[in-house]
């Protein structure tokens, strides 16, 4: 069952800014990664999904309810963590937490206290004077403290130190095990790889690819790292492979070649290598970052993965 649906969402701000015919769905219990650099359209899509803005065309739904029409209802059902943290002035962290508890009619502090301890938050200071990292921690506590079944997270670890980033990733894994439905918008490859079931890549407001994370683990095209005995042999092999239309990924290592080959052609590659002095031949895992960069770097040759 699809809990979150974005269907042909378009919001055109002019000058090629906005999102255009964006569509995806997220099933119950699934963690969906929304991957792209700043300005690609991730936050615009999420703001529409949260009902903060009305689409030019298309629609967004949560639990089958139109986001814009049922904005107030859905806010109570969703744990939302915005990319840009804006907290009210004149309140301490404790007072802000208490205000949000009342808005959500919460009658227990148990989960709130667990989250405060987990993320090592001191909510006693004024929100205006908090560091960016503490503001992020406070926003995390507020987003999760009512234990929502749906989580919409926009760049959730921005501003956290590496230790807290890892704490957050492990926390999301546990939320996933509890059956939560999660949209994770990010430009940090490691956190997307760690928790997501499916991923879409957005560029200039258009979704340009969508795939299960398993695709990277079980792709037909693979990359092999070949270490030659000397630079002369490496250059000779590079010339032969280029003539035979292999994809060679240049990582500027003199005696090392990274060769992309389809599984059906592996015997042919081994035959081409047989006359050279090979010191090492290993399979290289294709990372999410390498796959992503084919869309953002014109000289990348990771095609057909």
| pTM for the full predicted model | 0.80
Structure tokens given for 41 = 């359209």
> What are 136's strand-pairing partners?
none
pLDDT tens digits along 161-211: 999 999 999 999 999 999 999 999 998 898 999 999 999 999 999 999 999
Per-residue pLDDT band at 297 (split at 50, 70, 90): low
- In the predicted model, what is the mean pLDDT of residues 221-236? 85
> What are 181's strand-pairing partners?
150
Q: Which of 62, 4, 68, 49 is nearest to 31 (CA)?
A: 4
Question: E-assigned strands of 135-284?
Answer: 150-154, 181-186, 198-203, 206-212, 221-228, 247-249, 256-262, 278-284
Per-residue pLDDT band at 250 (split at 50, 70, 90): low
- In the predicted model, what is the mean pLDDT of residues 247-263? 78
In order, the DSSP letters of 24-67 are EEEETT-EEEEE--TTSSHHHHHHHHTTSS--SEEEEEETTEET
DSSP state of 64: T
pLDDT tens digits along 139-157: 999 999 999 999 999 999 9
- In the predicted model, what is the mean pLDDT of residues 264-280? 86
- In the predicted model, what is the mean pLDDT of residues 231-236? 86
Please tell me the distance from the alpha carbon of residue 181 to that of residue 210, in angstroms, as a whole number: 18
Per-residue pLDDT band at 251 (split at 50, 70, 90): low
Phi, psi of 274 (to 5 degrees): -65, -25
For the chain, give the percent of residues with pLDDT over 90.
58
């Amino acid at each position: 069952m699809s809990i979150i649906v974005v269907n042909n969402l378009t919001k055109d701000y002019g000058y090629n800014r906005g999102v255009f015919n964006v569509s995806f769905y997220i099933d119950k219990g699934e963690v969906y990664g929304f991957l792209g650099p700043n300005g690609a359209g991730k936050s615009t899509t999420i703001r529409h999904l949260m009902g903060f803005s009305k689409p030019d065309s298309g629609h967004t739904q949560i639990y089958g309810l139109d986001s814009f029409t049922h904005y107030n209802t859905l806010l109570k059902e969703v744990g939302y963590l915005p990319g840009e943290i804006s907290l009210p002035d004149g309140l301490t962290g404790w007072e802000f937490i208490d205000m949000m508890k009342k808005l959500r009619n919460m009658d227990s502090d148990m989960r709130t206290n667990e989250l405060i301890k987990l993320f090592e938050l001191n909510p006693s200071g004024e929100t205006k004077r908090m560091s960016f990292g503490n503001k992020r921690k406070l926003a995390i506590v507020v987003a999760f403290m009512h234990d929502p079944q749906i989580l919409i997270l926009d760049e959730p670890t921005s501003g956290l130190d590496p230790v807290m980033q890892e704490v957050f990733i492990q926390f999301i894994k546990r939320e996933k095990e509890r059956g939560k439905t999660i949209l994770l918008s990010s430009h940090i490859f490691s956190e997307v790889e760690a928790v997501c079931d499916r991923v879409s890549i957005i560029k200039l407001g258009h979704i340009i690819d969508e795939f299960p994370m398993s695709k990277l683990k079980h792709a037909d095209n693979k990359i092999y790292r070949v270490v030659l005995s000397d630079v002369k042999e490496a250059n000779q092999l590079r010339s032969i492979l280029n003539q035979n239309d292999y994809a060679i990924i240049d990582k500027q290592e003199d005696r090392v070649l990274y060769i992309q080959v389809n599984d059906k052609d592996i015997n042919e590659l081994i035959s081409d290598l047989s006359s050279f002095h090979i010191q090492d031949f290993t399979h290289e895992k294709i990372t999410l970052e390498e796959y992503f960069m084919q869309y953002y770097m014109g000289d990348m040759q990771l095609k057909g993965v």
